[in-house]
Every structure is written in C-alpha cells, then in structure tokens.
Amino acid sequence: MTDVRSNLPLAEEPLTERHKLGWGLAALVVAGNMIGSGVYLLPVSLAPVGSSSLIGWLVAGAGAVTLALVFGALGRLQPDADGLPGFAERGLGRFFGYQTALAFWTACLVGNVAIAVAATGYLGFFWPVLRDPVAATFCNLGIIWLATFAYIVGARTASSLAAVALAIGLAPIVIAVAAGVMAFDPQTFADSWSPSQTPLLQSVPASLAIIFWAFLGVESAAALSVRVKHPGRDVGRASVAGVLLATVIYIAATVAVFGVIPAEVLAQSSSPYADLAARVFGASIAGIVAVCAVIKTIGTVGGWVMLGGETARSAARSGYLPSGFGAGERTPIANPLLGGAIMSVVAVISGQPTLGEQFGMLVGVTAVLSLVVYAICSAALFRMARRSRARITAVVGFLVATAAVAAAAPGYILPTAGFFVVTSLAWWVFLRKSPSRVDPAAGDA
C-alpha cells in the first residue's frame, strides 16, 4: 500500500474550524444515521413478534439513552480521542482498540449494505422488477457507490446530505403516523400482539438485537469526534438529543403501522409505510412516502459511509490497518474506494430470495457486532472514569450491550464470534508487538 501522502485527500483536509461540525449538525447526523432503514423496513422483520415489539422499542430506547451517556462521558474524558477505537485503546489497551476498530468498521460496511437493501425495497414500490434478487443487487450497488462518491467529495458534504435527507425522511413518518391516527384499529393492534403465540419473555428479548439495529448510530458523534468543534462538550449533547428524537419517532411509527396493517400482511411487504399510506390516503400519497423513504435511506448510507471511512482512517492512524486508509486527520481517496469495493462484495454474496430475508440477516450481524463494540467502550469508560456517576453509567451501558447480545439469535452470534477469532489470530501474528501511538489528553468525567 502506498504512503498516504502520495494520495489526494478528501476535499476538506486539512481540517479547520470552518469544516468541523457543531453539536446541532452532529445531533442530526446521529438521528439521521439511526432514522433510516430502521424505521422504514424493520416492521417487516418484526412482524413475527407483532405489536408486542413496542415493549422492545421502549427497552431498547432506554438502553440507547444510556449508551449515549456513555459516549458523552467518553467525549468529555478524552476529547482528543480519534473515535471509538481511540476510546477503547486508551481505556483497555491496544488489543481492544484494534478489535473495536475492525469490528466497528466491519459493522459500518455490512450495515450500509442493509440500508441500501431498504432503499431498494422502496424503489420496488415503483419498479416491481427490483424485487428480483439480481435486479435488486444491481440497484444496491448503485446506491452504495452514489454514497461513496458523496464522501469522496468531502465528509461535510456527506454530513449535510444526511441532515437534508433526515428532514425529507421525516415526511413519510409524519404521514404514516397521521394515517395511523386516522385509521388505527385497536382490534388489529391487539390481534397482532403476538402472532407466533410465543411468550413475551421469549419473543421480546429475542427481538432486541434486531430492534437495536434502529439505534445503531448512537455512537456517530463519538466516532466523528475529531470532526466535532467542541468534542468534550458537544459529543454528549449530540448523542442524547439524537437518541431521544429517534426514540419518539420509532414508538409513534410502530404503533401506527401495527394498528392498521395485520402482522401477517406486514410480513410480506417490502415498503410497509408506503403500504400504510396507500391503505388510508391512496396510491398517490403512498408514492410520495416511497420517494421520501428512498431519499432518506440513501442519505443514511451517506452518513454510514462517512462513519466507516473515518473509522478506517482512525484504525490506520493507530497502525491497525494499512496506511493507505489514512494518516492523522487526512483521509485519502483510496479509503472510500476500498470501502465501496468491500460493500459491493457483501451486497453480492449476501443475496437472499427476498429483500426482507437479506435485510434481516445483515441487520442481525451488524447489530451484534456493534453491541460488542458498545460493551468494549463502556468497559473503557469504567477504567478511565474518576467520578462514580460516570462509572455507574459505564456499568449500566455494559450490561445493556451484553444483555442484548446474549438475547440475540445464534445465527447472529456465531458469525460475530468467528469474526473475533479471526481478528484475534491476526493480532497475535502481526500486531502484538507493535508500539503504542497514543498520547492521551485527559478530560473530566
């Protein structure tokens, strides 16, 4: 791999205050990275759980707020840390920094493919041919590379794309909630409470890993800490504000869709909110919902492409990835191009007979990988914190993340375990004796 100085940096490097993100824009990136395919396609994946998934949303929302507080405390404690790997390395050592870097980068890449699948699902509302696996794969690739080129133009461009897409993407949610208010049927909601007749103590915990997919992005402000103007103050603000906004929207949308569409019908959908609008307002409004959903999911891909690229740059800075992925705060064009190539491979090999099945598989693996990263960051906070309040937050965050992993289906846990076995072997063979490159500047938490 050639040295990064021989590559062209992304447009806004080197960083200046003008190019960095204020807490408001960072909060919109957090919310925008969460309010994407999670709200648009997850009702299909949760149809077997039914309207009782509302309990899971409440539990996951409380857990996500706790994790937002964890990342806010980390931002205050280590304001100059370079993203999640920097937090893990400073708290637990280079081995955990390395594992965090590779796990979060992989989660970003795999999750991006899932978001592209969601966008393709809503495009299928207009062009049913996209429900064919081959056509859907080509559409997924086009969306991935559109977002990749936006990141090549610049990280601030990708952030602005995500923020604008969030504003547009809220429109179909407002329409869906309005439709739910107008057409809500308590009997439909009750009949969909537990379609599989599985006890709630089994079905709700099992759904948490999938539901937590919708809250992935809580770490966005922390992962982009080097690009936030005042990370010690603003990472926490942005994280909590983004989570609260997303939680309110998720709960309202869940009640709306399960109160109008029976669970067995919902399970066959590829565009649930467009279908909801069609039932209440007609096909024309449903088309508007589908268009907004496509714009929002593409914007979400842009935000996650940026997170993946910044994580790879941070990993290269610490010596965990080749220098071609970045050096310091510079991000070479090779970084997003390699990320786009890897996502393209994942999009091809993860193909399933239906978009819903492909989405569910990608979501499960991404969620478990990310939850392991959250647990590592919580443990790092516990090691570094000097105040009891921060330590309590760290313990609760660790318990939330590990409990969600433990409740996940084996089909999601086993690939994750295999990933960490491979990365651990690579560490002991190639990086175990590498020197530390960290010079922390302690904050207050």
Binning pLDDT at 50, 70 and 90, where does residue 7 land?
very low
Binning pLDDT at 50, 70 and 90, where does residue 20 land?
low
Binning pLDDT at 50, 70 and 90, where does residue 114 land?
confident
The answer to whether residue 136 scores a pLDDT higher than 80 is yes
pLDDT (tens digit, 9 = 90+) per residue, 121-131?
888 888 888 87
* Share of residues in the chain with pLDDT > 90 (%): 10
The answer to whether residue 327 scores a pLDDT higher than 80 is no
φ, ψ (nearest 5 deg) of residue 434: -70, 145
The answer to whether residue 166 scores a pLDDT higher than 70 is no
Amino acid at 351: G
Binning pLDDT at 50, 70 and 90, where does residue 194 land?
confident
pLDDT (0 to 100) of residue 329? 62
The answer to whether residue 219 scores a pLDDT higher than 50 is yes
Instruction: Confirm if 49 and 211 have CB atoms less than 8 A apart.
Output: no
pLDDT (0 to 100) of residue 1? 40
pLDDT (0 to 100) of residue 233? 63
Across the chain, how many H-helices and E-strands are there? 18, 0
How far is the C-alpha of 104 from the C-alpha of 308, rounded, in Å?
Answer: 8
Of 41, 177, 42, give the one whose Cα is nearest residue 122. Answer: 41
pLDDT (0 to 100) of residue 73? 87
pLDDT (0 to 100) of residue 27? 66
pLDDT (0 to 100) of residue 155? 57
394 versus 319: which is more confidently predicted?
394
Beta bridge partners of 327: 330
* Alpha carbon separation from 74 to 81, 183, 242, 379, 401 (Å, rounded): 9, 45, 17, 11, 16
In this structure, of 16-30, 236-250, 275-289, 345-359, the range with the lowest mean pLDDT score is 16-30
155 versus 131: which is more confidently predicted?
131
pLDDT (0 to 100) of residue 3? 35
| Residue 338 CB partners (closer than 8 Å, separation 6+) | 312, 324, 325
φ, ψ (nearest 5 deg) of residue 142: -60, -40
How far is the C-alpha of 93 from the C-alpha of 77, rounded, in Å?
Answer: 16
Q: Which residue's entry shows tokens 């791999």?
A: 1
Range among 137-146, 194-203, 285-294, 327-336 with highest mean pLDDT value? 137-146
Binning pLDDT at 50, 70 and 90, where does residue 314 land?
confident
How far is the C-alpha of 329 from the C-alpha of 13, rounded, in Å?
Answer: 8
How far is the C-alpha of 268 from the C-alpha of 32, rounded, in Å?
Answer: 26
Of 343, 306, 339, give the one whose Cα is nearest residue 325. Answer: 339
Q: Record the pTM.
A: 0.75
pLDDT (0 to 100) of residue 444? 58
Residue 14 preceded by cis peptide, ω within 30: yes
DSSP 360-377: HHHHHHHHHHHHHHHHHH
* Share of residues in the chain with pLDDT > 70 (%): 77
